[in-house]
Amino acid sequence: MDLKKEEWLDKFRTLPSRKLSDIEKQMIFILIEKSKVQRERSMAILNKGFLIFFAFIIIAVFGRIYNLITQVYINVLFILGILVLVASVISYHRVLNQEEKILDDMLDSFFK
């Protein structure tokens, strides 16, 4: 970890002393804000996925306890809950990876 930190410090020391124009600053600000919006949207999807998962599980548990739902439907609810949860986690992870790549590319462009 310290080696990576030292590498970053060396990169920052060797940065050219060029000033950013106002347009470049605004573009960077817009890209960061867009990244935040995408992250918030994917977080909302993740939260809704967790909510749906827990709703399916609660329905399945109450259906099992009070014998309101057959075992086949309980299994289907459980599987659908897990699928929703997995889909929301994958969606969130994909968005975070894309944002990280974009920000890394932007940071690397400053070092060139």
- What domain range includes position 86? 43-112
The answer to the question of residue 21 being in a domain is: no
The answer to the question of residue 72 being in a domain is: yes
pLDDT tens for 32-61 read 898 899 999 999 999 999 999 999 999 999
Placement of tokens 């935040």 in the chain: 36
pLDDT tens for 92-103 read 999 999 988 888
What is the Cα–Cα distance from 92 to 101, expressed in whole angstroms? 14
The pTM of the full predicted model, rounded to 2 decimals, is 0.75
**Helix and strand counts by DSSP (H, E) for the chain:** 3, 0
Domain count within the chain? 1
The answer to the question of residue 7 being in a domain is: no
